[in-house]
């Protein structure tokens, strides 16, 4: 729950920014409020936890700004019965938020350290329907689908059509698409029969998706 003064103030400012961009679903606000963002980052960044700044985390990675995370989770339109796949666990924060909206969240990352920390954070918060896996997510998670929603926090250089095979009918995937250098388009793909409909949400700058898992960390 929202605890310290700085965090309450930061969270209030975050909500104001979200509402300034349009209507915010009440379940989403409740999910964010119930997930203490500072618990997912180093203490030196607690005062700016709810800003839209990218924040450093372990393994040389970074956590996306709160506003972008909220925009993506809003666009996913997660419903209570949904199964969600997240590729790129990072700190575990977005998986924790989505777990409060969905039936089940499976999150994968190539870094074992990030997976172990995410598991510890889920357990500390009493989240029992989010499952962190140390795995190569560059091809999705073939044996665990179908999923109703898929979110990818790394960029593909071309449309990831193979992820549509892991979606349920009417399901959707959000992924950055574009070159390694420069901006990428954040695209939402909705599965309609054997094809998909595409809606571009905005532009982002993400690291390219990497195959395999990290050998040591």
Distance CA 15, CA 72 (A): 15
Model confidence pLDDT, tens digit, residues 28-78:
999 999 999 999 999 999 999 999 999 999 999 999 999 999 999 999 999
CA R_g for the chain: 16
Q: What are phi and psi of 74, to 5 degrees?
A: -60, -45
Q: Name residues whose C-beta falls within 8 Å of residue 50's C-beta, 6 or more positions apart in sequence.
A: 7, 10, 11, 13, 14, 37, 66
Q: Residue 180: what pLDDT?
A: 87
pLDDT digits (tens, 9 = 90+) for 154-171: 999 998 988 989 999 999
Give the model confidence (pLDDT) of 89-119 as tens digits.
Answer: 999 999 999 999 999 999 999 999 999 999 9
pLDDT score, position 2: 46
Better pLDDT: 194 or 203: 203
Report domain extents, the chain: 5-204
What is the structure's pLDDT at 51? Answer: 95
pLDDT confidence of residue 145: 86
Q: What is the pLDDT of residue 3?
A: 52
Q: Is the pLDDT of residue 144 over 70?
A: yes
Query: pLDDT confidence of 182, banded at 50, 70, 90?
Result: confident
- Helices 5-20 and 26-33: crossing angle in degrees, nearest 10, is 160
Buried b (16+ CB within 10 A) or exposed e, 42-75: eeebbebbbbeeebebeeebebbbbbbbbbbbbb
Taking the C-alpha atoms of residue 152 and residue 187, their distance in angstroms, rounded to an integer, is 10
Q: What is the pLDDT of residue 8?
A: 86
Q: Return the CATH fold of 5-204.
A: Rossmann fold (3.40.50)
Task: Answer yes or no: is pLDDT of 4 > 60.
Answer: no
pTM (predicted TM-score): 0.94
């Amino acid at each position: 729950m929202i605890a310290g003064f700085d965090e309450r103030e930061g969270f209030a400012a975050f909500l104001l920014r979200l509402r300034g961009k349009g209507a915010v679903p009440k379940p989403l606000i409740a999910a964010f409020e119930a997930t203490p963002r500072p618990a997912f980052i180093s203490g030196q960044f607690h005062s700016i936890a709810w800003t839209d700044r990218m924040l450093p985390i372990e393994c040389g990675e970074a956590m996306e700004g709160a506003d972008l995370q909220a925009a993506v989770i809003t666009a996913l339109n997660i419903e209570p019965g949904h199964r969600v796949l997240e590729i790129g666990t990072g700190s575990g924060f977005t998986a924790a938020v989505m777990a409060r909206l969905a039936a089940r969240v499976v999150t994968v990352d190539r870094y074992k350290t990030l997976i172990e920390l995410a598991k510890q954070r889920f357990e500390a918060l009493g989240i029992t329907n989010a499952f962190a896996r140390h795995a190569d997510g560059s091809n999705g998670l073939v044996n665990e689908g179908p999923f109703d929603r898929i979110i990818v926090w790394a960029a593909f250089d071309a449309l990831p059509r193979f992820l549509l095979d892991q979606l349920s009918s009417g399901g959707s995937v959000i992924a950055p698409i574009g070159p390694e250098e420069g901006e990428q388009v954040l695209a939402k793909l909705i599965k309609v029969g054997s094809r998909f409909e595409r809606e571009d949400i905005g532009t982002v700058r993400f690291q390219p998706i990497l195959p395999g898992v990290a050998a040591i960390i």
